[in-house]
Chain A
Amino acid sequence: MFLEGFGSLILDGTIATIKLALMSMLLAVLLGLAGASAKLSSNRWLRNTATAYTTLIRSVPDLVIMLLLFYSLQIGLNNVTETLGFDQIDINPFMAGVITLGFIYGAYFTETFRGAYQSVHPGQYEAAIAYGLSPNKAFRRIMFPLMMRYALPGIGNNWQVVVKATALVSIIGLTDIVKVTQDAGKSSMQLFYFSLIGGLIYLAITTVSNGVLVWLQIRYSAGVRRADL
């Protein structure tokens, strides 16, 4: 076969990458929503904390944060378990990858959601409140669906960046697409061929997700007329 018996290994790596990307994306979106609400809140401390988070994370390269967090998470946890007198808990590299990627891209999502929320006309919120909706309900039923249309291009961009950033986790020792294709290349002495295969898998993932994003875009823009050019 054209994968020379490495097919199942490469499939495992691909699944690991997709799982990692989806889970970090989920964490990043949650952090992004929380960060955006903090940035838009009237509480000064919340606002400043969120601003510090987005500024710091976005100014330092993801790989540096990844290495810093990856090593520090374990050291920090060791300190905690030591003072509490427990046995050492080893952080599973997969979870460490999800936490670091989610934490990093949460900062990018914070900015995406903040921008999207501010793009929704404030009259929508006022009207919802005037109709007697609670602030919570006004956000869930009115602001959130309207906001998604503005947030989608940013979400799409971030997703593509997260997918490509998962390639970095092989550096902190995770078995992902990069790791398995490199291993296959080294043991079959065909490094060039298998590196290209790795690239092709990523290309397939980004191409498919691009299609999904276009579809979502059309769905969420229902009822909006496009400008005639």
Chain B
Amino acid sequence: MNIFEFIFQYGKAYLWTDGYQLSGVAMTLWLLVASIVIGFLLSIPMSVARVARNPFIRGPVWFYTYLFRGTPLYIQLLVLYTGIYSLSFVRGQPLLDAFFREGFNCTLLAFALNTCAYTTEIFAGAIRATPHGEIEAARAYGLSSFKVYKRVILPSALRRALPAYSNEVILMLHSTTLAFTATVPDLLKVARDVNAETYATFESFGVAAMFYAVMVFALVWLFRKGELRWLAFLKPQTH
């Protein structure tokens, strides 16, 4: 089979659907966007808690990021997918049963918790690096603690965290390849199925690798655009 026949026959499955459900690139992107958005929203309050002075607020968040950054995502996925579903009380409870039976839900949960842990540390680092004078000035103007975060610390910290955050998003795209172990039909699952069907190993994984590379380059380009726009205030000033 030449490469054109290959693309003609399997291109659709690689890109958006296998005929029954979302698959390939579309599934991978959907997983990426969903886990990144959930992780981002959770990580903002968590990063503020991570830098809190009170050890009872800081401690639990530290423990959470320590656990999730110290173990491989694959193990986390296994615990949340096959592990939890093997517990009898989970299967006995209709709501939990319905949630953990679906490989997609477990995958999304594992991915979101994992990326949230890394993102929390990235944002916490950026918050700690906020220039001392900015916070002092904000306090001197009489802003409440909440307002200092909302108006001064977070807008600048989230921008300064952008380069590190873009790395995390790209690593998360790489991590979505684990989804196939929980039967989610992502790009790598399609490649594996095609490989099993055709024995054309180089073509089936090569095409997937190419699509991943394209996605990574697109993300790099997007973040570069974002940095130009949102980090303009850090550039050396010219008069």
Contact = CB atoms under 8 A, between A and B. Distances in A.
B177 A203 contact: no
A86 B110 CA distance: 47
A68 interface: yes
Interface in A56-72: 56, 59-65, 67-68, 71-72
A164 B82 contact: no
Contacts of B78: 178, 182, 195, 198
A202 B75 contact: yes
Interface string B178-203: 10010000001001100100000110
Contact of B75 (A64, A68, A75, A199): A199
Identify the interface centre among A56, A59, A165: most chain B CB within 10 Å of its CB: A59
B188 A164 contact: no
A167 B75 contact: yes
Interface residues of B, number: 37
Interface residues of A, number: 36
Identify the interface centre among B78, B86, B176, B205: most chain A CB within 10 Å of its CB: B78
Given A182-B78, A203-B67, A61 B177 contact: yes
A206 interface: yes
Given A163-B72, A199-B75, 5 more contacts: A168-B74, A178-B75, A185-B82, A185-B83, A196-B83
Interface of A: 56, 59-65, 67-68, 71-72, 75, 163-168, 170-171, 178, 182, 185, 189-192, 195-196, 198-199, 202-203, 206-207
